Amino acid sequence: MSLFIDTPVAAPDFAALKQRQQATWASGDYAIVGTTLQIVGESLAEAADIRADERVLDVAAGNGNATLAAARRFARVTSTDYVPTLLERGRARALAEALPVEFEVADVENLPYADGSFDVVLSTFGAMFAPDHARTAREMLRVLRSGGRLGMANWTPGGFIGRLFKIIGAHLPPPAGVQPPPLWGTQAHLTALFGEKAAQIRCEPRHFNFRYRSAAHFVQVFREFYGPTHKAFAALDEAGARSLEGAITSLLAESNTAGAASLVVPSEYLEVVITKR
């Protein structure tokens, strides 16, 4: 007889989790950090081979980096996010450049579009944070036409941001039963999610360089403006906050390639282009 009793693990409450996520991404001011990542949107638009007049959907678009990159290539772009304040920042940027973009509040796990509505779906560091990975993958593929392309930029588990999330998780444990976002930065996970419905999966490891004055400057900006770190610091007591700041500072010191004069931290991400069967 076994001495152990198997205790069923309750399925995550995705609805409640997403409400907390919405509050997290609405906190701070993500655009302060997000706009520095614009080069990733441009690279992804090239990798996905965006063509003029193609129908492009940017999901979990945040402040619109992939949105603007596609619109600059004369695509017909719909930019979506489930946090309205983030869409407003993208709308302001599109207006400043006189780029015609449709902005709509929408959840990547429940997209309000017919099957096969788009030629291209894009996501830069967005859809990877949706809690239900399988449902997110199904929805992004569903709204793509046959032969359409899904382009994603996803942080990897072993890169700087992946390691940052592990540090945050050690100080403030994530919800039980939820797959970690950086799994989207692994080819094995992408193959498991998309393999049967993909004609091709192309993955290219790339690096984005975070450039700040110093480690202290990085911590200050991310603590004030980047939703996950903003919320993490707010949830910790004084000792916990000091511990988190120290761990992040140590990671920055280890990762900095610029020496003492400033901060340059390469962060690996996976650039992905999936062609739907």
pLDDT digits (tens, 9 = 90+) for 15-66: 888 899 999 999 989 999 999 999 999 999 999 999 999 999 999 999 999 9
> What single-letter amino acid sits at 67?
T
- Calculate mean pLDDT across residues 113-117: 98
Q: Where are the beta strands (DSSP E) in the chain?
A: 55-58, 76-81, 101-105, 118-124, 144-155, 198-212, 263-276
Torsion 190-157-208-218 (CA) sign: positive
What was the pLDDT predicted at 155? Answer: 98
Domain extents in the chain: 14-209+267-276
Q: How far is CA 210 from CA 31, 39, 47, 49, 207, in A?
A: 15, 12, 21, 26, 10
How would CATH label the architecture of 14-209+267-276? 3-Layer(aba) Sandwich (3.40)
pLDDT tens for residues 118-172?
Answer: 999 999 999 999 999 999 999 999 999 999 999 999 999 999 999 999 999 999 9
Rounded to two decimals, the pTM is 0.94
Distance CA 272, CA 129 (A): 16
What was the pLDDT predicted at 10? Answer: 62
- Whether 1 shows a pLDDT value over 70: the answer reads no
Q: Are 93 and 63 in contact (CB under 8 A)?
A: yes
